[in-house]
Amino acid sequence: MIIFPAIDIIGGQCVRLVRGDYATASKVAEDPLETAKKFEAAGAEWIHMVDLDGAKAGYPVNTEIYKNIAQNTNLKVEVGGGIRTLETVQAYLDLGISRVILGSAALKNPQLVADAVERFGAEKIVVGIDAMNEMVATEGWLETSNVHYIDLAKEMIKVGVKTFIFTDISKDGTLSGVSIDQLKKLADATKGQCNIVASGGVHTLDDIIKCRDLGLYGTIAGKSLYQGTLDLAEAIEAADTVKIRKMEIADYEGAYAIWVACQNGLNNLDDSREGIEKYLKRNPDTSFVAEENGVLAGVILCGHDGRRGYIQHMSVAPEYRRRGIATRLLNRALDALKAEGIHKAALVAFKNNAGGNAFWEQQGFTLREDLNYRNLALADMIRLDPDYR
């Protein structure tokens, strides 16, 4: 489960509200960027940000703050508040924002949500469902509708939405505990169809554990972090339900299914069960899987020839992406190679995999331009550690 530390902005200041009431706004930190950097240092991979001025005005107001954090930290940033057009979504994504939250638009302009999912992909669009007495509220929580929060979620799932942030407004900013009953109702009603992020009321580690045990995708923490009732690093550790372990041949079917889902280049010989079994026997300690609640979420098949490591497959199942699993798998494999005296690793990078190649470059791999594998490869991707000899 992902922990999303939260920064809400009014007038360029980091604030928190109580039950969405703007009159209760209180400053909780001096500088948004420095606050984000502290969250990152504690282990956060995501940050949840809301433009409260924008939510009230109906258009973005504090854009520069979100741009600054996206471009000056390694955090993945999700932003909501005042996003009413596809052009605004595009503008945010162009600034390096990872996900955009549509709130009022989900109720008042569902076609916008459908168009956004089709144009930008479900992984870039989140729908925020804010409810008072189980009825959806809009316009910065200033208006309450007669639409039940579960009904709205079901309608949004029909247009392709995969991730929801659910806020019980009565709990927000109160440190009174998460609304576990309403979250469970939503989880049960949409089981297997979407990711749910809990928002509002988080007080202590117990709330994190409750959300984790409910099987939620994430939990947003705001006031609890600023007032010190919740330690971010401890929350992240407690929320981690993904475990990394060595790959075994018993994992073959699950791993193969992930490779197929990710459209990896496969061949009948090397990637058969017999081929992978031989591979694991040659290098039993350098291939790993990520597992959550008994389900494989990702896999890295990595070996070496005594001088150089090579990564044959590295994939994360589509439903588990953007959770840092790929980086964790890679780091475990590289650490295992180093333990065997191997300080250089390579893989083949393909022309039609721009997103994947960008990931490898971010991880410190560089391109060798002198190779062209079967006219398909862009280059050999090499990572060379400084201590390699």
Give the model's pLDDT for residue 369: 56
Answer yes or no: are the C-beta atoms of 257 and 277 closer than 8 Å. Answer: no
Taking the C-alpha atoms of residue 342 and residue 344, their distance in angstroms, rounded to an integer, is 6
- C-beta pairs of 191-198 under 8 Å, 24+ apart in sequence: 193/157, 194/153, 194/157, 194/161, 194/162, 194/163, 194/164, 195/162, 195/163, 195/164, 196/163, 196/164, 196/166, 197/2, 197/4, 197/126, 197/163, 197/164, 197/165, 197/166, 198/166
Nearest to 326 by CA among 293, 300, 361: 300
- Quote the pTM value: 0.69
Domains present along the chain, CATH in parentheses: 2-239 (3.20.20.70), 242-384 (3.40.630.30)
Sequential pLDDT tens for the chain (389 residues)? 899 999 999 998 888 777 767 777 778 888 999 999 999 999 999 999 999 998 888 889 999 999 999 999 989 999 999 899 999 999 999 999 999 999 888 888 999 999 999 999 998 999 999 888 888 887 655 566 789 999 999 999 999 999 999 998 887 667 788 899 999 999 999 987 899 999 988 999 999 999 998 989 999 999 999 999 999 999 999 998 888 999 999 999 999 999 988 877 777 778 899 999 999 999 999 999 999 878 899 999 999 989 888 898 999 998 787 677 998 999 999 999 999 998 888 887 766 666 677 788 778 777 665 444 433 333 344 544 444 33
Give the model's pLDDT for residue 367: 67
Helical H runs in 287-380? 325-339, 354-362
Close Cβ partners of 296 (under 8 Å, ≥ 6 residues apart): 251, 254, 255, 257, 258, 289, 290, 317
Taking the C-alpha atoms of residue 15 and residue 223, their distance in angstroms, rounded to an integer, is 9
Answer yes or no: are the C-beta atoms of 241 and 3 closer than 8 Å. Answer: no
Both tokens of 166, joined, read 């659910």
Q: Which residues are catalytic?
A: 8, 130
How far are the Cα atoms of 271, 301, 307 from residue 277, in angstroms, in the given order? 9, 11, 22
